[in-house]
Amino acid sequence: MSRIGKSPVNIPSGVDVKLEGNKVTVKGPKGELTQVLEAGVTLSIEGSVITFSRESDAPSHRAKHGLYRALLHNMVQGVSEGYKKEMEVIGVGYRANAAGQQLELALGFSHPIVFEIPSEVKVSANTEKGKAPVVTLESYDKQLLGQVAAKIRSFRKPEPYKGKGIRFVGEEIRRKAGKSAGKK
Number of structural domains found in the chain = 2
Q: Classify residue 179: in a domain, yes or no.
A: no
CA 7/CA 164 separation, integer angstroms:
42
Q: What is the pTM of this model?
A: 0.87
CA 26/CA 15 separation, integer angstroms:
7
Q: Classify residue 159: in a domain, yes or no.
A: yes
CA 53/CA 62 separation, integer angstroms:
10
Tell me the C-alpha to C-alpha distance, in Å, between residue 123 and each of 32, 99, 104, 115, 119. 19, 9, 11, 11, 10
pLDDT digits (tens, 9 = 90+) for 106-162: 999 999 999 999 999 999 999 998 899 999 999 999 999 999 999 999 999 999 999
C-beta neighbour count of 70 within 10 angstroms = 16
C-beta of residue 121 within 8 angstroms of C-beta of residue 145: yes
Where residue 125 sits, what CATH number does that domain have?
A: 3.90.930.12
pLDDT digits (tens, 9 = 90+) for 35-94: 998 888 888 899 899 998 888 888 888 888 889 999 999 999 999 999 999 999 999 999
